[in-house]
A and B are shown apart, each in its own frame.
Chain A
Amino acid sequence: MTTLISAQYKPTVWMKVQKNYFKNWRSALLSMMCFAVLGGIVWSIVDWGILNATFSSTARHTECYANGGACWSIIANRWRVILFGLYPYDEQWRSITACFIVVATIAFSCFPVFWTVRRLSLIWLVGAASFFVIMKGGVFGLSLVSEEQWGGLALTLFIFVGTVLIGMPLAIMLALLRNSKLPVISKVTGVIIDTVRSLPLISILFTFALVLPFMLPDMLVGEKLYRVIAASALFFAAYQAEIIRGGMQGVPKGQEEAAQALGLGYYQRITRIILPQAFKNALPAMINQFVTTFMETSLVTIVGFFELLASANAAYGTGEWNFAFVEVYFFVAAIYFAFVFALSRYGAFLERRMAN
């Protein structure tokens, strides 16, 4: 059997580069300019962040100013404040364990093997319970650490996971209610969703954290942290509901009619026909909303929580380190990036998987 000569032809890397970036003098010029700008930026970051940087943990601002570059000494000295906030120093291993538990729980529920209602709920029940026990303590010989002392990464993750766990089912419910054939229900749901969406998240958080305690009877007030998570979940659900509804509208009407003709009930139609396809349609926008929500957890500082960004402010907010805020923001940005990047890569994986 002979192979075609054209099939044996393999362009070298250099040929590809030439074809893609230097096809004619105009594209060559543009490419050169872009590479120069990019190279300049990368170089100045490397120069600042590595070549001229100070890494020694004993260095203070005189050494750092002398070297001229980044002062990573602040991270060496203050990383525990950034990651754990006000969590008691001797108990901080619990905070890091709790972070691992959340990450592991999320990772497990990303595998398609676990995608049944029973398995998923089991994982999350175990994950959430062990997170809570380890963070709060008060049992098994762990000392009690109340919610106000939680801080840093563990608190950010807790708020994000809590928001998604409450917000996602709520979003599906709102989307279905809004699509209801009974005009009263769909109109009322529409008004609720639009009201929440027309308010800024900050004002919702502020209301739930500070105004609600004046209005509710004492027994319903609860811990401020859970009120804030509820507020954030409501906000998340209002947006996600519209995204899911958009996905549902993308499913051709004939499918639901066909399912009806086959004698499938409402529950079956929704869970077997409509929702899976709606999720598939809406996936990129949904992942986008997850990412936004993760970033927006930093807004809870306004009602006085020591989440990642507030702990970062506290880390450089002392006379010794006040000059090195850029380094702290870099460090925090790297943490946010790690989580958000993983999230969006996972979204891309899901899209590929569903495309088949």
Chain B
Amino acid sequence: MKMLMKSLACSFGVALASGAAQAEFGETLKTVQDRGVLNCPGHPGSYLGFAEVDDKGNWKGIDIELCRAVATAVLGGPEKTKIVPISWAQRWPSLQSGDIDVVIKASGGTLSRDTELGFQFSNSYYLGTTKIMAHKELELSGVKDADGGTICIPAGASQERQVSSYADRIDISLETVAIENTEELESAYYSGRCDLYAQWGPVLAISRSVSKNPDAHVILPDVLAVEPEVMIVRQGDEQWLDIINWTLSVMLFAEQEGINSKNVDAMRDNPPSVEVGKMLGVTAGMGKPLGLSDDWAYNVIKKVGNYSEIFSRSLGKESPYKMDRGLTALWNQGGVLYPFVID
């Protein structure tokens, strides 16, 4: 299969983008099981809250936790993960060439990624919004009040387009200052060069929380754009996508049912419902359709945790960022996340 893909890529003469990455049904699971480790992308550096390095050089963050969850489902333990540090530009060729098995790298689902690049997506595990932060002393209640102001935006990113179309829509004019480097961009805003700062929501919230004086800044309620972050795999291997989707679904289901890594043993001994019993492998049937063992979901909850636990460790109250779940909460708490039904 790999050979075929290589010759395809060569014969088209465009080795990267256009060589559609086809995988065969069941191929990825078999490759991962034979190899004994799951390869996931990291960063050459860090991406706050999603993939960062602790004092001992170990990876942490919500993208990393999800990778460990998939590794636990497939191979039985979170340690059976290899995080390959790759740049943003490198994630697609790396997935196509099989260097990594899944892209979990704060990446949104887009039309071209789905079609031209030949990938398919899991359900969304995080809903990223583009928002705007302002100096509190300006006493703005929304972006509308900022007519004529100056806004700092990351150069070359989608925020540039989102800000200009949003400004057109609400009929105000903003002077933009576009800066590529994040540190430079943020010092420009905090030093007062700009009145506003537009950025992807989580980055904005994190930036505010670690700034010199968080209370001097407010994040305005306007939502300029929404980007659902998804896990991305090669097209053609539906079994692998099912495994990824059900790993996420099980973590959400566990949160919904109040099952976490601490009480999972008690829940298994005494399942409160038929669905929970099936999920935790008390009754058979959870593993076989996916090509896994029946206790895979139990292992994920036991060794990694439910969704709220990994969110809390990476971005929420146990992390330095103290972020709210916001839209990334379960359906019954005002969010947009939901598990599928275990029948």
Residues of A in contact with B (beta carbons under 8 Å apart): 61, 65, 77-78, 80-81, 84-89, 148, 151, 206, 209-211, 213-215, 218, 301-306, 310, 313-315, 317-320, 322-323, 325
Contact = CB atoms under 8 A, between A and B. Distances in A.
Contacts of B89: 206, 302
Contacts of B287: none
B12 to A, nearest CB: 10
B197 interface: no
B45 A317 contact: yes
A325 B53 CA distance: 15
B161 interface: no
B210 A322 contact: yes
A338 B105 CA distance: 36
Nearest to A313: B45
Nearest to B97: A213
A81 B57 CA distance: 6
B85 to A, nearest CB: 5
A215 B10 contact: yes
Given A211-B16, A319-B209, A305 B94 contact: no
A206 B57 CA distance: 26
Given A77-B55, A317-B48, A214 B84 contact: no
B90 A210 contact: yes
Contacts of A81: 53, 55, 57
A310 to B, nearest CB: 4
Contact of B319 (A88, A304, A319): A319
A305 B85 contact: yes
A277 B86 CA distance: 45
A304 B88 CA distance: 9
Given A310-B45, A314-B45, 19 more contacts: A80-B57, A88-B57, A89-B58, A148-B85, A210-B90, A210-B97, A214-B5, A214-B6, A214-B9, A218-B2, A218-B3, A306-B85, A313-B45, A317-B45, A317-B46, A318-B320, A319-B52, A322-B207, A323-B212
Given A210-B90, A215-B15, A65 B44 contact: no
Interface string B1-26: 01101100110000110010000000
Contacts of A213: 6, 97
Contacts, number: 116
A325 B15 CA distance: 37
Contact of B210 (A61, A304, A310): A61
B110 interface: no
A319 B49 contact: yes
A319 B314 CA distance: 10
The secondary structure that dominates the A interface is helix
Nearest to A315: B53
Contacts of A306: 44, 85
A314 B60 CA distance: 11
Please give me the 4 A-B residue pairs with the lowest Cβ-Cβ distance, nearest first: A317-B46, A313-B45, A319-B320, A304-B86
20 contacts: A78-B55, A80-B55, A81-B53, A85-B57, A86-B57, A214-B15, A215-B15, A301-B45, A301-B87, A302-B44, A304-B85, A305-B85, A306-B44, A310-B44, A314-B53, A317-B43, A317-B45, A318-B52, A322-B206, A323-B211
B210 A319 contact: yes
Contacts of A85: 57
A304 B6 CA distance: 22
B35 interface: no
Interface residues of B, number: 45
B93 interface: yes
Contacts of A218: 2-3
Given A148-B82, A304-B90, A317-B46, A215 B6 contact: yes
A214 B9 CA distance: 7
Contacts of B85: 86, 148, 304-306, 310
B269 interface: no
A240 B92 CA distance: 34
B57 A304 contact: no
A312 B98 CA distance: 28
Nearest to B93: A210
A161 B83 CA distance: 26
Contacts of B93: 210-211
B53 A86 contact: yes
Contacts of A80: 55-57
B47 interface: yes
A308 B3 CA distance: 35
Contacts of B319: 319
Contacts of A77: 55
A317 B53 contact: yes
Contacts of B209: 319
B137 interface: no
B68 to A, nearest CB: 16
Contacts of A61: 210, 212
Nearest to A314: B53
